[in-house]
Chains A and B, each alone.
Chain A
């Protein structure tokens, strides 16, 4: 594709790391209590992409996870289901069957996750396979090597090709911000992904640290805001990796609320890629409900 396909790149603003950290500190200082806290925790629960991405994953484990996704806490049936279950392509069919009749979506990582180090043809084939197996959403990884050496056009083209391969499925573009190193790069990669057709932009695979820091997430939220103002198109956001407790999750929601506004505060536009987060949210909600903290073994590990 011609280089003119990425005209807006030159407009990617720079990010001042000191100012960014100060803004994040303000978000962290927000004190979310009582009714605000309960509704934020329920919201966070409904936004989780319950994830298992390990070599040792089994159909049985995926089915367990699907059960958890539909009914996170058997002790409280008023709680919402999570947004999606996220698995490798080979387990998409299992998840799809287990979630039949529910509104929980099936997401699948593809494109040679997590490294992205395969030829583009194979990566696109993996997307087509996952979609054919029933995936509603595809989480792709970008070629960080190409991005870092300045070959933005190649990255743009691969994202556009992946979007095409997705068909009806939603495309989440994983930037792997831990490998991009600077906030300027995160911003540029976010703009690139959105221009190339991403439905969601996502921080990390969860396999590289640091992953979804609040700072990186804020940079991406601001990119989404600017993109929306410029084009009128809403793009979703998914921080993933490293968000383990309810308090951190609420901070992320505060950032979304004050950066993008309430329109993005739905599972349609914001997701948490997480696994251990779920039980901490359930524990905090049980605390709000009963006044007492329950033991960790009162919540299911799936």
Chain B
């Protein structure tokens, strides 16, 4: 598997350089003039503030308090498109100024049947709605839980995406030369269940990690083979890399680690009745613990998702999903995990999305709910967004966590329940 991963990476780089050198003969000065005259500048300025509704002794009361300026610069030449999107953030919670380069990439179609996008980019595939199985591109769970725009759930990848198209089937290959983990819950902004301390923790116990970070050795490769047949979208996926959020810890239990992970999956999406239905499945091979005997490393899993969405009234849509994570070596997990910390074999999750548009579609009310009957926990995301005019939008929302137990996926966040408001000026 390592061999094929390297091989594909090599081919990717080769193809990229060949196609680039072919077009590099253009007159540089003319290109530069064209580049500048085609330059397009957009973005937004935003103020967002939020507070915890419950006292959390491990975190600040402010859940979010920031100003953000996003600049989106794009331009093009005959042979390629370019985009740089960056955020400058003044963050009062972490008391720092921050710069987040969201995108910086070049896109070109060197051949009729081939697209190439190289650089920092946001990547998404798969059929789930805020549930991901075969999409192993980095997520920013912290942003998601503290009430940033949903767009920020996707963290950027530094990668090359090669897409090949044919009448028979299409293929996407994404090569990430150095592992891009999730922006996971570390305790910095969100308190969490710390299994070593056997209690909730936060800024007092920020997770330290040992992250695979060697260029071209600790790499990731993801591929999707897909085809549209009568507008039913079929896809096969594979991923070779690491658990994106810490999937275990070292034997001394001092560092969170990102064990090897291979994923194989499939999905289908299309019209069902009056709505859209989707099915997705994935086999998570926790490669560093294939027997399931290592209590410090995530068990292998099967993951399955079924979803359906439909318009149920005027400007009113509803979506329902059922998702399950099934541990494959459960008895081993049970034997090896520290007592009292075993999970259920299956984690069942139901999601419900309700979205209603009002006032000439300038007011959007939405509620997204995750509900786990097995973990007995719930996460609700109500949001109201009003467009005052074509540039200005105001927003009010909350992240509400409930749970019977302090160690379950959403239950651990119950002290992080927060309410937030935002104002965004887009240009």
Asked if A and B are interacting partners, one says no
User: Which residues from chain B sit less than 8 Å from chain A, CB to CB?
Assistant: none
